[in-house]
């Protein structure tokens, strides 16, 4: 390793299930569903090639540090008592990564003054405070997050599939934003349900995902779900083992981000590009900074979902092919590779000063 290169990196994973280094292990088909762990698996492989160790943070307790050894510390949205943590271990608090919007993770955004004081860098979807407060935050520490994606190209077997239904597929879990004390007016869960209800009247939409049939579950206890329950059950096809395989059966997919937050672009549109399905996309207002218009249909431009369907159903094979090819080109472009290489970029920074110095 060169001078200043870290000898060990530890990561606080976003969920306990990813501990014990499972964050870097693709053998568990449930945890690695649809290759969601490929970015961290690839990260570990790339770091190993440079002689750098990386583990989940429980490794600190399982394997005592060697004398004089300092580990770089990264957090995927897990708050700790950092003074205590740094008194127990020799750590450089390098980066805090917030993958969720304020709608889901309000506590993390409220903790930004603290986090930006302790960590060298903080990655989040936008750095100008859209959806959260910058009061007391060290803005110089904020960096734009490009949500890590598993592939830098299409999934050929899915993308090239020609025999598709001229219908719209929706792949989302059932969620109740009212369960969150940090409920945000920019939520789009209800927008998604309204869109499906309108398209169901035309018999052109199918719904897949977890929890939609669980009417007794707290995630279902909110008005939009109950008002549209019979309709949702009529279009519901159950969960799916592979979202790419399901997407490949359809010509179009309705992709509505959970939040209207600036810069909030998730895997939803990328899933469609991988599978060769045309995304009807409702994303952030600054989407043109990140995704080219040639690869998706902008859901914002229509007065109704019926108008949207009347427009896209007229797309001929030439237009659809051009959009698919544009999607493939984007994935391979510098703009697309920002998402594929996101974790490598985050973990490639030089170490910051010691947290106890």
- How would you write the pLDDT of the chain (357 residues) with one tens digit per residue? 344 545 799 999 999 999 999 999 999 999 999 999 999 999 999 999 999 999 999 999 888 777 778 999 999 999 999 999 999 999 999 999 999 999 889 999 999 999 999 999 999 999 999 999 999 999 999 999 999 999 999 999 999 999 999 999 999 999 887 766 454 567 899 999 999 999 999 999 999 999 999 999 988 898 999 999 999 999 999 999 999 999 999 999 999 999 999 999 999 999 999 999 999 999 999 999 999 999 999 999 999 999 999 999 999 999 999 999 999 999 999 999 999 999 999 998 744 444 543
Radius of gyration of the chain from Cα atoms? 22
Distance CA 155, CA 135 (A): 43
Closest to 237 (Cα-Cα) out of 245, 104, 6: 245
- Helix 305-312 × helix 189-200 angle, to 10°: 60
C-beta of residue 108 within 8 angstroms of C-beta of residue 131:
no
pTM of the model: 0.93
Query: Could you tell me which of 246, 153, 265 has the C-alpha nearest to residue 207?
Result: 246
Cα dist from 29 to 32, 33, 129, 173, 210, whole Å: 5, 5, 37, 18, 16
Phi, psi values for residue 350, rounded to 5°: -65, 150
Cα separation of 225 and 255, whole Å? 18
**Domains of the chain listed by start with CATH number:** 8-150+340-347 (no CATH), 156-338 (3.40.50.2000)
């Amino acid at each position: 390793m060169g001078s200043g290169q870290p000898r060990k990196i530890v990561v606080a994973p976003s969920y306990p299930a990813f501990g014990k280094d499972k964050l870097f292990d693709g053998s568990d088909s449930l945890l690695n569903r649809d290759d969601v762990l490929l970015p961290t698996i690839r990260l570990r492989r790339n770091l190993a090639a440079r002689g750098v160790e990386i583990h989940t943070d429980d490794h600190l307790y399982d394997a005592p540090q060697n004398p004089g050894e300092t580990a770089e510390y990264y957090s995927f949205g897990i708050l700790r008592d950092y003074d205590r943590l740094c008194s127990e271990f020799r750590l450089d608090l390098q980066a805090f990564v917030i993958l969720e919007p304020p709608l889901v993770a309000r506590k993390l955004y409220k903790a930004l003054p603290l986090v930006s004081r302790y960590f060298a860098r903080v990655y989040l979807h936008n750095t100008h405070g859209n959806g959260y407060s910058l009061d007391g935050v060290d803005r110089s520490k904020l960096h734009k997050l490009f949500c890590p994606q598993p592939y830098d190209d299409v999934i050929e077997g899915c993308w090239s599939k020609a025999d598709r239904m001229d219908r719209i597929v929706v792949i989302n879990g059932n969620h109740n934003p009212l369960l969150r004390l940090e409920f945000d007016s920019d939520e789009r869960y209800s927008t998604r349900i309204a869109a499906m209800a309108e398209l169901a009247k035309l018999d052109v939409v199918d719904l897949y995902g977890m929890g939609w049939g669980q009417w007794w579950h707290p995630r279902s206890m909110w008005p939009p779900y109950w008002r549209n329950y019979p309709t949702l059950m009529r279009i519901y096809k159950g969960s799916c083992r592979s979202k790419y395989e399901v997407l490949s059966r359809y010509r179009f997919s309705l992709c509505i981000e959970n939040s209207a937050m600036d810069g909030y672009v998730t895997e939803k549109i990328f899933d469609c590009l991988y599978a060769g399905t045309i995304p009807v996309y409702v994303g952030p207002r600054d989407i043109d900074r990140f995704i080219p218009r040639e690869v998706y249909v902008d859901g914002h431009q229509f007065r109704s979902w019926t108008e949207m369907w009347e427009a896209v159903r007229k797309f001929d094979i030439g237009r659809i092919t051009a959009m698919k090819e544009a999607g493939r080109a984007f994935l391979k472009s510098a703009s697309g590779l920002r998402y594929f290489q996101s974790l490598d970029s985050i973990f490639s920074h030089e170490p910051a000063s010691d947290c106890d110095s």
